Structure 1
């Protein structure tokens, strides 16, 4: 299992940068558009893909669940309180932890709060790199 398919260097703490920059979201316009207009779906899909990788060691057979309970919860929180984006913070932290990516909880919160579509797309692309490496 390769959690660093691009072979990025690690710092002395064993952490590395994201494989794609935050503005690299434009390299995956489809995901970026869905993350912009339906962030609940991208959130749910990323979460299910990462959790499936954690528990099974292989890519989600259906490419993730974009319309499951996570999507519903995220959507309801967004519609009724405007705070659905808060669910993305622990998921971003979990993705950073899985791939030994530099950062902090505060940094994740600021990134998600300031540019949610870019953050969700960046996470999706990181997960996708591992999925692609497992299919080879």
Structure 2
């Protein structure tokens, strides 16, 4: 008679409570006044700080200086939408990046702060 031993590790379960919308509007500057002032008065420095916190190259936003449409601001916004599962279009991202650059960086920073929730083991079951 042979017996078979089966071992199963508990699997973590993560319940996502985030929505598929931005956590704040593009012009919600009152949500974080110090950050918005920093972005307004020194947008390149603020953008570099935000990019570094997002995990990209510190000096990447400095490439926005060349051209009409700020390509780095736009691609960071698109990347953030993809990472967090936020609805939107590249056309909207382009408009926001071009017309409201400082506000766009502030919105992305607020979103990173809001979504920076540590993964917690909700339940683990042996089956």
TM-score if structure 1 supplies the norm length?
0.64
CA distance in 1, matches of 2:70, 2:46: 12
Alignment match, 2:23: 19
Alignment match, 2:96: 111
Q: Structure 2: 5+ residue runs without aligned partners?
A: 1-13, 121-127
CA distance in 1, matches of 2:29, 2:70: 17
Alpha-carbon offset, residue 82 of structure 1: 6.1
What is the root-mean-square deviation of aligned Cα atoms in Å? 2.7
Q: Structure 1: 5+ residue runs without aligned partners?
A: 10-15, 53-64
Alignment match, 1:62: none
CA distance in 1, matches of 2:41, 2:67: 14
Alignment match, 2:118: 134
Point out the structure with max Rg over C-alpha.
Answer: 2
CA distance in 1, matches of 2:119, 2:83: 18
- Structure in which a larger fraction of residues adopt helix: 1
Alignment match, 2:60: 70
Q: How many residues align?
A: 106
Q: Residue by residue, what CA displacement relative to the aligned partner does 1:61-96 show, whole Å, maximum 9, x if unpaired?
A: xxxx8xx4235x34xx53xx4658332000110111
TM-score if structure 2 supplies the norm length?
0.68
Q: Is the 8 A contact 1:95 1:123 kept in 2?
A: yes
Alpha-carbon offset, residue 135 of structure 1: 9.2
